A and B are shown apart, each in its own frame.
Chain A
Amino acid sequence: MAEAARTTGAERDLWVRMYRLMVLSRALDHRMWILNRQGKSAFVISGQGQEGLQAGAVFALDPAVDWLAPYYRDMTLVLGFGMTPREVMLGQLAKAADPSSGGRQMPAHWGHRARRILTGSSPVTTQVTHAAGLALAFRVRHERAAVLSTLGEGSTNQGEFHEALNFAAVHRLPLIVLVQNNGYSISVPQSKEMAVADVAARAAGYGIPGVVVRGSDPVAVYEAVRAARERALAGDGPTLIEAKTHRYTPHSSDDDDRSYRTPEELRAQKQDDPITLFREVLAAQGLWDDEAEARLLQEVKLVVDDATDYAEKAPYPDPATLWLHVYGSDDAPAAGAGRD
């Protein structure tokens, strides 16, 4: 970020937009936990601490042509790709109009065809092979576009991580794999997950570049993803990017992280909060001040309140829709199996 002074006006504008996105995402995330404590939302899974890298990554993409294959911590990423706060809250409260799944999946299981966000499931890492497939279609049709798939560092131990990267490397597919390494897969620390310090070291085994970036530096992530995208569009194949980051919450609202990490560890990580750090960077550049911050917080509060109210008032799915979308052609099961 030392080069900030030499950047163009367009880039500075971009950075402010990144920052605004990060703040919005954190505020929505906070609200979800409140709704959970109020008994209005059964489950929360967070991206708090990972907003900076997601904001950096998403602005390096072109939402008009690229695809996103995200994982459950990616609220900042999907907001940046065009999902609205109302849509996020509809999913959080499992309402009928939830664009991700109509209330069928747990919250944070993103998916939105019109916005080129691939639907995902809960078994981790399946999205990376899907992403390689999306990229394969781009290559076969000679389209200039790329796919970004994200995952946690724990997921890199799954066989499908290996199969996806190998496949994409052999066929030089326009794929960017972004590992958000927050040091824990639920309770298991990275040292028990792998015998290497950097996930990026695995790139060597596939013959592709492996890049390590600091996740609290959105500009660094932006640049890494932009370079990977250029490489992808040039037909040079996939890139593995590892952003070192933190998870400020337990794994989910069903987890209690006090059993496996200390408050001191968490406090130290909060010194590396991407939002605080980036605000300081912007302020030092004269791009941000207290007044702008106050205005943004007010604005964000309104957006979050609106999304919450909207989603709370929205109807639940009709129980009869249980039977819809089992197949495309005939939604009524043949023999009325299990149906009274």
Chain B
Amino acid sequence: MAVMSYLEAIRETLRQELRRDPRIMIYGEDVGVRGGVFRVTEGLQAEFGEDRVMDSPLAEAAIIGTAIGAAVNGLRPVPEIQFADFIFPAANQIIQEAARIRYRSNGDFHVPLVIRAPFGGGVHGALYHSQSVEAFFAHVPGLKVVIPGTPYDAKGLLAAAIQDDDPVLYLEHKAAYRSLKGEVPSERYVIPLGKADVKREGTDVSLITYGLMVSYSLKAAEALAKEGVSVEVVDLRSIRPLDVEAIVATARKTGKVLIVHEDNLTGGVGGEVSALIAEHALFDLDAPIMRLAGPDVPAMPYSPPLEHAFMVTPEKIQQAALKLARF
């Protein structure tokens, strides 16, 4: 099995999918000749031609709106939004069109569409190249939101998203692109959307998380093991739909839950997860549910001390989990 970076896993999946299904088409700003600003689509235009890997004008509503039309007319578009922070001009097309078309047409139409977008901070991207946008979109029925935390999951989730008949927002963490590496099988496989994964078994505290925070939580768990605290790490992988069963199971198992995400705290995924636990496993808990999240300031600042103050780190996770373990 080859060892690949998170970014390479995504690129190789795109390549494999483009080979598999001639209906798949990639387009967006700079994805063609330049191969994307992060080089995720590098080499794909050379292999598949401009009709299938295409540079588009700088206009996000047009990128998503045309992808909706192309999907209805028989293609499987996989458009890229260059940075998740730039998705908002297309929010109307995503929320009010793509996610509603099946419902509003009573099932007559559907939109098989995967929107890829790099998100997240810790890369000196400042307020407009660091955002976590998932909570805005996780609120929308009709849309699925997927966030891989490992190269292996990146591949299987992307293949699943592409074969899904509904619109999927597939968010890729920028800081994970090159820093995360792992074994990735060369053959095609799919990881069902809406299924969480226990990345580490433990008995004292559950960390429920997704995205870059999965690897950070595993680091924290490793450190805590040395202090005699046994930590379970649950990777949600899909934040819409959420895997209620897995969330409730881990809460029941350890009785202590820390939810970790980089996105702002208030109205974030953590609120939803803790509500599910409160509804289904309240009397199995041994401590109040804790959340560790990005602070409630508009977005991540650029200057190093401010960026660091914003970012959730393995150390911050470790401290919070220890506090919970000792409750």
Contacts and interface: CB of A to CB of B under 8 A. Distances in A.
B109 interface: no
A103 interface: yes
Size class of the A contact interface (CB-based, 8 Å): 35 or more
Contacts of A326: 296-298
A319 B128 CA distance: 19
A11 B59 CA distance: 41
A245 B87 CA distance: 29
Nearest to A42: B124
Contacts of B55: 187-188, 192
Interface string B281-296: 0000000000001111
A321 B298 CA distance: 13
A294 interface: no
Interface of A is mostly: loop
Contacts of A194: 57
Contacts of B88: 123
Contacts of B189: none
Given A43-B124, A122-B128, A192-B55, A106 B302 contact: yes
A43 B303 CA distance: 11
B217 to A, nearest CB: 17
A160 B32 CA distance: 24
Nearest to B123: A42
Interface in A292-340: 316-323, 326, 333, 337-339
A122 B37 contact: no
Given A94-B303, A103-B306, A317-B306, A187 B30 contact: yes
A27 B125 CA distance: 25
Nearest to B54: A192
A249 interface: no
Contacts of A103: 301-303, 306
B85 interface: yes
B33 interface: yes
A337 B266 contact: yes
A322 B89 contact: no
A229 interface: no
Contact of A338 (B58, B89, B264): B264
A334 B302 CA distance: 25
Contact of A158 (B32, B59, B265, B305): B59
Contacts of A95: 303
B29 A122 contact: no
Nearest to A152: B58
A166 interface: no
Given A106-B125, A122-B129, A123-B88, A155 B58 contact: yes
A228 to B, nearest CB: 24
Interface in A90-116: 94-96, 101-107, 109
A254 interface: yes
A337 B303 contact: no
A106 B57 contact: no
B-side interface size class: 35 or more
A220 B295 CA distance: 50
B265 A338 contact: yes
B128 A123 contact: yes
Contacts of B83: 122
Contacts of B297: 322-323, 326
B198 interface: no
Contacts of A160: 89
Query: Chain B CB within 10 Å — which of A107, A158, A339 has the most?
Result: A158
A95 B303 CA distance: 7
B302 A193 contact: no
A322 B306 contact: yes
A293 to B, nearest CB: 36
Given A158-B89, A186-B37, A188-B55, A104 B29 contact: no
A124 B310 CA distance: 25
Q: Which of A102, A319, A320 counts the most chain B CB atoms within 10 A?
A: A319
A160 B29 CA distance: 17
Contacts of B89: 123, 158-160
Interface string A138-157: 00000000000000001101
A109 B126 CA distance: 10
Interface string A117-137: 000011110000000000000
A159 B298 CA distance: 25
Contacts of A7: none
Nearest to A185: B58
Contacts of A154: 57-58
A122 B304 contact: no
A326 B297 CA distance: 6
A211 B55 CA distance: 28
A194 B59 CA distance: 11
Given A94-B304, A157-B58, A185-B58, A105 B34 contact: no
B133 to A, nearest CB: 12
Contacts of B62: 157, 159
A62 interface: no
Contact of B294 (A43, A105, A338): A338
Nearest to B88: A123
A255 interface: yes
A323 B295 contact: yes
9 contacts: A96-B303, A104-B127, A123-B89, A158-B59, A186-B30, A186-B34, A316-B305, A337-B265, A337-B296
Interface of B: 29-30, 32-35, 37, 55, 57-62, 83, 85-86, 88-89, 124-129, 264-266, 293-298, 301-306, 308-310
9 nearest A-B residue pairs (beta carbon): A103-B303, A122-B128, A187-B34, A94-B303, A338-B295, A319-B309, A104-B301, A157-B57, A42-B124
